[in-house]
Every structure is written in C-alpha cells, then in structure tokens.
Structure 1
Amino acid sequence: MSWLRDSIRAFWQQGDRLLLALCLLASGYGMVLIFSATRYLETNRNMIVQGLGILLGVAVYIIMSSVDIELLTEKSWKWLILFNVVINGLVRTPLGVEVNGNRSWLHIPGFPVNLQPAEIAKLTFVLLLAWQMSRLQERGISRPSSVFQFAGHTLFMFGVVAVTSGDFGMGLTYLIIFVIMSWSAGVKKRWFLLAVVVCVVGVVLIWPHVKDLYFMKRFTVVIDHITGNPDTISEQTLGQGWQQTRSILAIGSGGLTGMGYLQGIQTQSSYKSSLPARETDEIFAVCGEEFGLIGCLVLLALLAAIILRCVWVARRACSPQSALIAMGYAGMLLAQVGVNVGMCLYVFPVVGLTLPFFSYGGSSIVTMFAAMGVVSSIKMRSLPSWLRDRSRL
C-alpha cells in the first residue's frame, strides 16, 4: 500500500485541495437536498448510496491526481477507444436495463447500484479528443482534414450513444464538450458558423418528418410554452410538459428564501408524480422550493466556482493537451448545468441529464470526482509562473 501513501502525500503537497473542497461542498449540499427529496420514500438507501459514492469519489480523486494523464493516454489510446465502444455496447446485452424510458444503464449482479456507461465514457472521450486535437494543432487545427477528423470522432461517439441507449441528452453533452474544446483549441470561427448553418438547414429539412415523434414533442412543448401557444395548453401542463410544469411551480413557490427545509409542499408530497424525478433531474426545483432564490444562487455559485477552477488550471497547464482536457471537463460541467437548470425552468426539453454533484446517482458522483481528479493531476504538473510568463512572449 506504499503507492497509496505516496499518492496521498503527493496530493497533499501539490494536488488541488481547493477544487476538492469545492466538490465536497457541492456534494454535501446535494446530500442535504437528496435527503429532503427522498424523505417520502421512508428509506435511507439513497443517502447511503450517495454517501458511499462521495467517499469512493474522494479516493478516486486522490488516485487520479497522481496519474500522468498524458502518458496514460499516449500509451493506451487504442484501448480507450475500444473501451468507449464496448462499455456503451453492453447496454444492448442482458446486462442492460431500462430506467425512465432509456435503456442506458447496466445492472451487474451483486453490484449495489446500476451504472451508466455513457457517463463513464465521457471521461475517456475528453482524454481522447484532447490527445487528437493536440496532435492536429501541429499541422493546423483549422485545416479541413483536421476538423473532419475530430468532428468525425465526436459524431461517431454521439452515434454510439444514440444507437446503444437512445439517450440523446447524454449525446448532446458530448456535442457541447466538442464545441467548447474546439473553440479552446483555436478552431477558426468560420467552422462554427458553417456548423450553425448546416444544423439550421438540417432541422428545416427533417422537421416535417420527425415533428410527430415522441422525442420531438419534448421540444415542441417547450416552444409552445415559451411562445404561449393557447392551442396546446393541455399538453404543456398535463402532457409532455407535466414534469417541467411541476418544477417551475415548485421553484416559483419558494420565492426569495424558500418554504423552509423539509417544508416544501411538492418535495415532501408522498405522491411521486407531484414532483417527478425530484432527487435526480429536478433536484434544482427542490432547492428552489425549500431554499428559494438565495439557495439556488448558492448552488449555482458553487458549480460556477468549480467550472472556473477548471479554466484556471487549463490556463496554467504544462501543454496544450492538458489544457484541452481541463477545458473539456469544464465544458462537461457547463453543459450539464445549463441543460438541467434549463429543464427545471421550462426553457429546455426534458432529456434526462442530472445536475453535477447535486443529483442522486452513484456512478454520476464518482465520475465527476474522477474528472476533477484529472484536473488536479494537471494542476500538479502545471508550468511554473516564470515559464508561463516566457511562454507568452
């Protein structure tokens, strides 16, 4: 166990203890909300699973801080690609189970919780994309051949997630990570403009053929709600928009300071449909109902601090590859926060994305701590200030 002692000693001397403290504050706040959200179940299982997930996450954070992530990716990139494909493909085997309409989970016999493969694969996707981009930067990151390569990699992973699990919300996270990392890598703005044009034209062409699909109705109900379409008011409140309607009602009823801890009407209701997915997708609504606007701002401030810390580490990274990894994980957090809060505020369709560090989920919390452990590893190997100054000359 000497390697573990060495890892802990190295982390304590050079690791990002501030980032770990922010993650613990956020996950601790999340535990408070999860307890309230699951109190009606009259069981402590969710709290136990989340608590064990946080403890395991801290251990993984410390271990990942001691790993030279660039060396690991350089030696294992082929295996990491295979891992991404295989672990997502497992959901189509007898190990795959359906939760809330998505077959995106693995149930391993004897294992206490289900695992979400696409959540885990996000970590290695960022490592591989950063490794690929850093090498393409040497010959021109904005060359068509370069853009097609890493864009093709991203679309391939999006396709794997979509085909195996049908989880388009998770696939959207991959795309947002790609956009943020591409921008950070220095891809010229004309490529982003071209991508927007292609997306708009594509939506216009295929919309008549897909608008009646179940998944597409999640988007149309949000558009109808924002525009105030009176013809679909029943669908907005009782149909596809039921979950989001309950969410904004909970947030709105909290006001400035909230109804008080364990006092939220919908949060404490014994009817699961009163506030669906309250411990996962709608944990932000729980915060708004019981702690009000102030509680929500504290929640968002903690997440913003974690994201900004990742950006701070990226700016001081020892190489472009490490900087892109840190920015990739910052983008991952930003994507999930934006989409999850947007769902709760009824400005984004329900796509089943959890709120990082706050929502219930064993695999999710461990994955987040692992990602931040990689950022801590980058911080431990950052350039000294005098060399950073010379590098900008």
Structure 2
Amino acid sequence: MSRLRGTLAGFFQQADLLLLGLCCLATLYGMALIASATRYMDTSGMIRYVGVQGVAMLLGIGAYIFMSMVDIEIVMRKWKWIVGFNVVFIGLLVTPLGVGGSTTGNQAWLKFPGIPFQIGPAEVVKITFTLLLAKQLEWLREEKRDLKSFHSAFLVAGHTLALMGWYVVISGDMGNALTFFFIFLCMSFVAGFALRWFALLLAGGGAAFVAAWVLDLIPPYMMDRFRVLFDHSYDSLGVGWQQSRSLLTIGAGGVLGQGYMNGTQTQSSYPQSLPNRWTDFIFSVCGEELGMIGCLLIILLLSAIIVRVLLVAKNSQTSFQCYVCVGVAAMLIYQTVINIGMCLFVMPTIGVTLPFFSYGGSSILTLYMAMGVVSGIKLRSPDMHRRGQIIGR
C-alpha cells in the first residue's frame, strides 16, 4: 500500500496535470453537448450515452495515470510483439467480433462481450503505430543512416503504407487509414527527411488518385463525397444531406447560439434533421446552441492540448520521445481539422470524430492513453532536461 501511495505521489508531483486537466475539461464539455444532442430521444437514451462517455472518461483517467507510469522506451524493446499485435488486432475485424458501421457499412469495430461500447482497432493502433514509427526513426538515426536517402524514406513509408493497406483491405475505412498517413508525414518531417521525398510522395499520391478517378476505380459513393464539396447542390437529398444540414445548423446559431438544449435542429425529434449529431456532427450541435463563441471554445481547448503535447516534444530528452509526442499531436490535428471541415462542408464525410468531444467510449479511452504516454515522457524529463532541444533537421 505504501508503495502505491508513493507511486501516486510521484505522479501528482511530476506528471502533466495541466494536460490531464485540459483533457477532462474538453471531455466534460463534450458530454454536455452529447446530453443535448441525445435529449430528443428520451431520458433513458440520453442517460445511456452520457453514462457510457462518463465511464469511458473515468477509465481513461486511470489509463492516463497508468501510462504515465510506464516507461515506453523499455516497452519498445519488444517492438516485434507490437508489430504482431497491430496485424492481429486489425485482423480481428474479419472474425465474428467484427461489427460494421451503421451508416457506412465499414467493418471497423469490434464488439467484446461485457464491454458497454464497441472498440475501434484503429483507435488503439494509432498509438502503437506512433510508437513503432518513432522507434524506427530513432533506429535510423542511431545507425547513422542518411535520412535524406531513398532507402530510409522507403523503409518508413513502406511501414506506413503496409499498415494502411492492411487496415483498408480489412475494414474499408479510409478516413482512419489516412490518420496513419498524416502521423507519418509529421513525424518524418520533424525527423529531417528530405523535402523532395514528401513532394514525390504527394505528387505520386495525387496522380494515383486522378488516375483512379478517371478509370472509375474509386467506389461511386466515395466519388460523390468529393463531387458534393465543389457543388453543394449535387445530390443534396442524398450524399450531401448530412453536410447541408450541418451547415444550416451551424449558421442558425449565429454568434451566441439559440441556447443550450434549445437548438431547432438539435432538438428535432426527426433523426435526419441533423444526422449523427452526437458523433460526427457534435461541432454542429455546439454551433447551433452555443454559437460561434461555443465553437471557438472547442477550438481553443483542442489547440491548448495540442500545444501542450508539442511543448513536451520540444523539451524531451531523446529523439524517440520527441517523435512520439509529435505523432500524438499529429493525430489530434488531423482529426480536429477533418471533423470541423466536415461540419463546415469543406471536407468530405469520412467518419472521423472530434477528439474528446464526439461520443465514443473507445475513442475517449485511447485518447487518454495517448495523453498518458505524453505525460510519462514529461515525467521522465523533470524541468525539461536539456531544455529547448528538439531532434530535427
């Protein structure tokens, strides 16, 4: 018992309590929005959604404390086991545990008996992938490999594309697969890879997309999601319906909003007035009921969390620690930009949730785990040893 007390005392003295506080504040704000977004169902439905989110938050805080105590550099000595975990965990989607999305049909969720929420393997693998990529980048530096060389770029890009390909083939979920790609771009840039490789990769990806479009290799529903971005009137009652309703909902809120639990679309008993209002379009709920001020508060909270993570990266002791923090920040940036862009009708609908705000037990739990990893890095570099050092170009 005394050892446990000592461990917890060490956590409260050195762990990143500010980061934990920001995460909790964002989650509580999100729970308030979820309560409003689900109120139109019935009281039991609202309590269930908010309750699951609350339980996930409490479990997340426990995971944050636990991950703060774990030395991930020691864990990564068993990196081969983590590679195997990524492959097998994603592969579980093709077993009876796999569950398809209610609207997209993507086989992107796992339902384990006794757990009150579904688990998205991508949410967990984002963390393990970030750790593995950081380890790979650190190894390349330690081996004194030229990070500007084609061989180094090929190794890192190959790792990323292999994981993305495996996940897309198994799940059909392109939205979360692109999260891996953005994490790779940010971490590789900080590590010092030559800009020409980024230009070549993006140009090649763009050319491949255009070719796939011209040759009709892209599924029709996905092509429509891009078409509607440039012509909002295109299939406005079909593929453009969700985002059209989202834009209408946000615009109706103005600067101060219509009032909490008083939004016209948010409180409508017709589900299609604002589809997926407690998940993908929680930002729209905020826009209608709390207005631009409420939306700016969401952006401010998420920006504060991202900046805090990057500050830990800036002051980390090792290249591995720096890369991990950058990868976590990249994950948050990608999801935030895509989700808000989706709600504002400037990004395609790809099922990416808003971190800490959208409903999702596995999302909340894994976000706190990721933040706990960052906290653990700060805990092992008190007062930011070798202040100001960042591994890079």
Deviations 1:252-301 (A, max 9, x none): 00000000000001111111111111000000000000000010000000
> Match of 1:174?
180
Q: Secondary structure at the match of 2:108?
A: strand
Give the equivalent residue in structure 2 for 1:103. Answer: 107
Q: CA deviation at 1:212?
A: 6.0
Contact 2:277–2:284 (CA<8 Å) still a contact in 1? Answer: yes
1:230 corresponds to: none
TM-score under structure 1 length normalisation: 0.94
State the match for 1:217 in structure 2: 224
Residue deviations 1:357-388 (CA, integer Å, cap 9, x gap): 00000000000000000000011112655733
Q: Secondary structure at the match of 2:99?
A: strand
1:54 aligns with 2:88: no
* Whole-angstrom CA distance in 2 between matches of 1:146 and 1:290: 50
Q: Does 1:200 align with 2:201?
A: no
Structure 2 residue ranges without an equivalent (≥5): none
Q: CA shift at 1:114, angstroms? A: 1.0
**Letter of the structure 1 residue corresponding to residue 265 of structure 2:** Q
Taking the aligned partners of 2:81 and 2:5, their CA distance within structure 1 comes to: 28
User: Could you give the per-residue CA deviations for residues 328-373 of structure 1, whole angstroms, max 9, x where no partner exists?
Assistant: 0000000000100010000111100100000000000000000000
Letter in 2 for 1:52: V
CA–CA distance in 2 between the matches of 1:2 and 1:248?
Answer: 55
Does structure 2 retain, via aligned residues, the 8 Å contact 1:248–1:345? yes
Structure 1 residue 102 displacement after superposition:
1.5
Distance (whole Å) between structure 1 residues aligned to residue 117 and residue 68 of structure 2: 25
DSSP 3-state at the match of 1:103: coil
In the alignment, does 2:20 pair up with 1:20? yes
1:50-129 matches, cutoff 5 A:
50-74=53-77, 76-99=78-101, 100=103, 101-129=105-133
Q: Name the counterpart of 1:289.
A: 288
Change (3 A) 1:59 1:391: closer
- 8 Å Cα contact 2:247-2:345 kept in structure 1: yes
More displaced 10-residue stretch of structure 1: 60-69 or 209-218: 209-218
1:181-192 aligned within 5 A: 181-192=187-198
For 1:14 and 1:123, how far apart are their aligned partners in 2? 22
- Which residue is equivalent to 2:157? 151
83 and 33 in structure 1: CA distance in 2 versus 1, 3 angstrom threshold: same
Q: Which residue does the alignment assign to 1:355? A: 354
**Alpha carbons of 1:2 and 1:369: their partners in 2 closer, same or farther (altered >3 Å)?**
farther
Q: 1:244 aligns to what SS in structure 2? A: helix
For the aligned residue pairs, the C-alpha RMSD in angstroms reads: 1.6
> Counterpart of 1:368 in structure 2: which amino acid?
L
Give the letter aligned to residue 219 of structure 1.
F
Letter in 2 for 1:199: G
TM-score by length of 2: 0.94
Paired position in structure 2 for 1:229: none
- How far the C-alpha of 1:389 sits from its partner, in A, is 6.2
Contact map agreement 1:317 1:383 (CA 8 A) in 2:
no
Q: Kindly indicate whether the alpha-carbon contact (under 8 Å) linking 1:16 and 1:380 is maintained by their aligned counterparts in 2.
A: yes
Matches within 5 A, 1:198-347: 198-208=204-214, 209-210=216-217, 213-225=220-232, 233-235=233-235, 237-347=236-346
**Which residue identity is paired with 1:333?**
L
Whole-angstrom CA distance in 2 between matches of 1:245 and 1:4: 53
Contact residue 315 and residue 386 of structure 2 kept, 8 A: no
Q: For residues 391 and 253 of structure 1, what CA distance do their matches in structure 2 show?
A: 45
More helix as a share of residues: 1
The amino acid across from 2:129 in the alignment is F
Number of residue pairs matched by the alignment: 383
Q: Deviations over 1:162-186 (max 9, x none)?
A: 0111110000111111111111111
2:272 partner letter? S
Shift of 1:216: 2.0
% identical equivalent positions: 51
> What is the letter of the counterpart of residue 241 of structure 2?
W
CA distance in 2, matches of 1:183, 1:334: 15
Instruction: Note if 1:131 corresponds to 2:135.
Output: yes
User: Match of 1:29, as an amino acid?
Assistant: Y
Q: Quick check: 2:316–2:384 contact (8 Å CA) kept in 1?
A: no
Decide whether aligned partners of structure 1 residues 144 and 383 sit closer, same or farther in structure 2, where only a CA change above 3 A counts. farther
